[in-house]
Amino acid sequence: MLANRRGELEALSHLDGAVAPLLAPVINLSILDSHVLDILGRLPDGLVPAVDVTALPDGPETELTRWGVPLVPVIGLSESSRRLVTHGAAARTLAHRAVVRLRVAADRSGPDAATAAVERIWRLTRLLPEQCDLLVDAGDVCCPADVRVTGPRVRRLLDWARRHAWRSVSVAAGGMPATLSRLPTDEPVRLDRWDWQLWRDLADLGVGYGDYGVGPAVRGGDQPAERLPTICYTADGAWWVYRWSRRGGRGDDRFADLCRTLVTAPHWPATGAGYSWGDHEILRRARRSAGAGSPANWVAWSTSHHLAYVLNALREPGGTARSGPWRDDPAHPQRGRPGRPHRGGAARRAG
């Protein structure tokens, strides 16, 4: 589940077509501008994003059938009747399915109320349960206490979900802090991925996996954008956050130093630049083959590595895969092309 920031969407555009069908990205739209529609129209074949417009006004401009690109509507339990009708039309016209998003914190209700809510959705959208993917959104899971409290709640929701013939059921959560400004600089900082731990605790139920990429589940509206050179690098059960503020020299020098530190770290993959498009771009900066880029680039490269890491971790539980999914770029040829990853398994519903 990704924000509609240029960085996250750019990372999706560099996925290799072979692995695009393994992902089901959910784009959370807080604003609607031209760059969103432009990038959505340039995604790899087979990658059909789901779009959540709940935060946008209910009007003609948010009717997905008008956008002219393949999309899957995301439906909340408390959508207006008008929006349910238009989402139903979009689902039948564009993708023949929809995502029903149940927020664990915001949609607190008993099983009877939840059943009444989804029956209203099916009635007004004219969709069958078999045409709907259920996304159980656990929101922010940022510490062991959150995992202990959220896990039983999600299990109860999944018990309820078994009453209905969903197309699929997935659980998603986020664990990245809303701001990184309080973290130390000029050294890698390890942050536990408590969202990943939550899903591992629930994996015995056979549910699909989802997360918020390298972004927080709860975004602070008054938080300034990160301006220091920053990479959030996903590893086994953790993120390694690199924020570089070393004085002296140009910004390109600082980012090159950050990247050199990262590519010599134990969590840098054995395949290096071949792991993902983002890893390729990081190695180029470590070698001073390109400039530092912008905050949007840093998010894009971090997200690209994260997508590759999660797909490989789901395909090879308990280990780190040795290849990564990314699209060829003639301007930046791949070094050591990885093998084409197989399809199937739990990775099919990585979000």
Q: Which pLDDT score, from 0 to 100, does residue 250 have?
A: 67
Residue 19 resides in a domain: yes
Residue 342 resides in a domain: no
Residue 9 resides in a domain: yes
Give the separation between CA 154 and CA 151, rounded to whole angstroms: 5
H or E segment at 86?
helix 81-90
Residue 117 resides in a domain: yes
Q: Answer yes or no: are the C-beta atoms of 242 and 258 closer than 8 Å.
A: yes
Residue 345 resides in a domain: no
What is the rounded average pLDDT of the residues 331-337? 32
- Tens-digit pLDDT profile for residues 228-252: 899 999 999 999 999 998 765 666 8
What is the rounded average pLDDT of the residues 292-308? 95
- Tens-digit pLDDT profile for residues 73-114: 999 999 999 999 999 999 999 889 999 999 998 877 788 999
Residue 343 resides in a domain: no
Domain span including residue 190: 2-337
Give the separation between CA 102 and CA 237, rounded to whole angstroms: 25
Give the separation between CA 323 and CA 335, rounded to whole angstroms: 12
Buried b (16+ CB within 10 A) or exposed e, 189-201: eebebbbbbbbee
- Tens-digit pLDDT profile for residues 174-210: 999 999 989 999 999 999 999 999 999 998 999 999 9
Residue 198 resides in a domain: yes
The pLDDT-based confidence of 332 (bands split at 50, 70, 90) is very low
The total number of structural domains in the chain stands at 1
Residue 316 resides in a domain: yes
What is the rounded average pLDDT of the residues 252-280? 94
- Identity at 143, one-letter amino acid code: C
Overall pTM surpassing 0.95 (yes/no)? no
Q: Which pLDDT score, from 0 to 100, does residue 45 have?
A: 83
